[in-house]
A and B are shown apart, each in its own frame.
Chain A
Amino acid sequence: MNRSLILFAALTAALLIGLFFLFKPTPPSPAVTVETPTAATDEAGSSTAQPATSAPAPTPEAQPVRLVLAQGHLSDGPAIIRVEQGTRLRLTIVSDGAGQWHLHGYDLHAQLTEQTPAEVTFVAAHSGRFEHELHGTGQHAHGALGVIEVYPPSP
């Protein structure tokens, strides 16, 4: 019994692993060349080897986002902001009332005052889905505004 069980388990595992590589999307072509820098220099010339040896590339910038809040709700701007992990994101938050803006997970805070826009700049270093909200005063004490989705870099 044990031999056939092991055989069966190995077969299942092999099947699943094989399928995994079949389904896994292939990375876009420019990224592959960096993988083996020494081999690449010999055959493909010096240009491909450069990224591996030089200092890390500057953080990519995402398009700035402007969020307009009215009465504690998002009145203009994207409800879902999608960025790739590792990009720098710049948010401008305009509010018609005072309050504190809070991004969960990253635990970033920004003080908002009437008609004075708050600027928040940060590098989206962690992947995940992060809610941001307004801790206001009065009846809009606690309101969710939207989410920032940070996706892992494509494989």
Chain B
Amino acid sequence: MIPVRAPGNSGLRTLVAAAIACASPAVFGHSFGRVYNLPVPFWMYAWGATGALLASFVVVAYVVTRSPAASASAAVDLTRLRAGRWRHGRVWSRALQTLAAIPLALCIATGLWGVDSPYGNFNLTAFWIVFVLGLTYVTAMTGDLYRVANPWRGLADLGAAVTSRLRRRPAAGPALRYPVWLGYWPAVVQYLAFIWLELFGQHTPRGLADCLLVYTGITLIGAWLFGSRAWFRYADVFAVFFRQIARMSPLQWTDRQDGQRLELRWPFAATADRPAESLSALVFILFMLSSTAFDGLSDTLAWRRVLWADLYNAGLKHWIGDNPLAAFPAMRQIDRWWNSAWLLASPWIYLAVYAAFVWLSGRVVRAQIAFRRLALAFAPTLLPIALAYHFTHYYTLLQTQGVKIIQLVSDPFGFGWNLFGTADWMQRTIIPDAGTVWHVQVGLIVLGHIISVYLAHCVALRLFRTRREAAISQLPMLVLMIGLTASGLWILSQPLATAG
């Protein structure tokens, strides 16, 4: 047994110890739910990083030595079969939207009138764990369910139908045309706000209900102004997020004249099909990576030390003094601004790094392809890395907190009800075995990396003239992807700072 003292052995030990060990939940706000994960041991980190590096070269070798015919059809090299086709897709969609509106209404109602305890109230678990995490992973496996079952879309369409009925004339279409230059920027802004709330917001049932009401207001106004089709295509964070995730799914629903169609395809392959549509779509994808990376990084001891030890010693202490009683609250305030600034800056930092590597990759083969076209073409191939990051950081929450939804549905308001007889199920806390978690985390990050490298090569084969050119062009991209993977693993292997 090794009792370890809080780091920081200089005069400000008390301050650092207070910050690192005794951080109150209010300071280092956290995504909702308890995580019991231990840092990944060094040897697994080393294995993951080396494995990713060496496997990358196997992928390169595979892509380069394939027959030209196979290369030409790389993007459509999937088994497409028609597995299903049914009529009345619209009716089904309406039914699912109505069904999805029930938990949404319940989340708002329990937040407004239920108990104030985050873990005793239905809404935080239902929203953060079941909807935000659970639906992401379900979407990655089964396709864009959210597009057909989005409750806000149902509400917006219902509103439009009611107003046109009241005015006794057919709907004239949206009030405004969605401007092309706006692209996905509204979704990017919503995404930044959403992650900021996740990391720095106070997670109370009431707070969530208020946020949901505000979000519902924005969404309905937006859908009314620009039409629900345009709004949920470009401007809504969840619709855009789930659509990006669904590109990796082996199942795809497509709308056809004669009804909906379900297609089976290689998982992840569709990410190489189409480039990102615009700069805003590229930034959205990069923030999918950087938000998770930042969430992990900001919990590590190394990151916490930068502000609380290095910067404090470098000059902050002259400004705020070294009396712990006065300095600690001041440092907490600075910490909040400091971390918020880095979170909001993270997609732009990733954009700068990504742009540099894309520029290099066009440069090494002297390609006659516009830089912008290259940047947009390779962006979706980063999605598997983003999904692996996301899953490895958050999946244990499904085990520890997600299962609690079974008892919470029986007593959503925390009043002591037992509607379905499940209120006392799953009482014991499930603690995932640390060894298992480590293997899953490292294994999936390496797998995500291999898939991304493969897809990027498929895209390169389509863009560049020869296989040789494609392979050489991918060396800078390979460096970028190895960097992303290794840093993701590094974050997982770092000692954690906050208590929880």
A residues apposed to B, CB below 8 Å: 1, 4-5, 8, 11-12, 15-16, 19-20, 22-25, 62-63, 65, 73-74, 77-84, 87, 89, 104-107, 126-133, 142-147, 149-152
Instruction: Please tell me which one of the listed residues B20, B66, B431 contacts residue A4 in the complex, with CB atoms under 8 A apart.
Output: B66
A-B contact pairs, 11 of them (CB 8 A): A15-B51, A23-B47, A23-B50, A74-B17, A77-B3, A78-B3, A80-B4, A127-B433, A142-B24, A147-B21, A147-B500
Contact at B3–A144, with CB atoms within 8 Å?
A: no
Contact at B431–A105, with CB atoms within 8 Å?
A: yes
> B496 near A: Cβ within 8 Å?
yes
Contact at A144–B43, with CB atoms within 8 Å?
A: no
Residues of A within 8 A of B24 (CB): 142-144
Q: Which of A22, A107, A127 has the most CB of B within 10 A?
A: A127
Q: How far is the CA of A147 from the CA of B299 in the complex (A)?
A: 14
> B259 near A: Cβ within 8 Å?
no
The 8 nearest A-B residue pairs measured at CB: A79-B21, A128-B36, A78-B3, A127-B434, A144-B499, A62-B1, A131-B500, A23-B47
Q: Number of residues in B with C-beta < 8 Å to the partner? A: 48
Those of B1-25 within 8 Å (CB) of chain A = 1-6, 17-18, 20-25
Instruction: Please tell me which one of the listed residues B22, B23, B44, B431 contacts residue A128 in the complex, with CB atoms under 8 A apart.
Output: B431
Give min CB distance, B273 to chain A, whole Å. 18
Those of B32-59 within 8 Å (CB) of chain A = 34-38, 43-44, 46-47, 50-51, 54-55, 58-59
Instruction: Please tell me which one of the listed residues B20, B38, B44, B58 contacts residue A149 in the complex, with CB atoms under 8 A apart.
Output: B38
Contact at A79–B20, with CB atoms within 8 Å?
A: yes
Q: How far is the CA of A140 from the CA of B25 in the complex (A)?
A: 12
Instruction: Please tell me which one of the listed residues A16, A73, A79, A130 contacts residue B4 in the complex, with CB atoms under 8 A apart.
Output: A79
Contact at A151–B43, with CB atoms within 8 Å?
A: no
Q: How far is the CA of A97 from the CA of B38 in the complex (A)?
A: 31
Residues of B within 8 A of A80 (CB): 3-4, 6, 21
0 or 1 for each of B471-500: is its CB under 8 Å from A? (1 = yes): 000000000000000000000000010111
Residues of B within 8 A of A143 (CB): 22, 24
Contact at A144–B496, with CB atoms within 8 Å?
A: no
Give min CB distance, A57 to chain B, whole Å. 17
Knowing A23-B44, A128-B431, the reply to whether A79 touches B22 (Cβ < 8 A) is yes
Give min CB distance, B175 to chain A, whole Å. 48
Contact at B51–A144, with CB atoms within 8 Å?
A: no
Q: How far is the CA of A126 from the CA of B58 in the complex (A)?
A: 39
Instruction: Please tell me which one of the listed residues A8, A20, A107, A142 contacts residue B47 in the complex, with CB atoms under 8 A apart.
Output: A20
Q: Which of B37, B66, B77, B500 has the most CB of A within 10 A?
A: B500
Residues of B within 8 A of A89 (CB): 1
0 or 1 for each of B65-97: is its CB under 8 Å from A? (1 = yes): 111001000000100000000000000000000
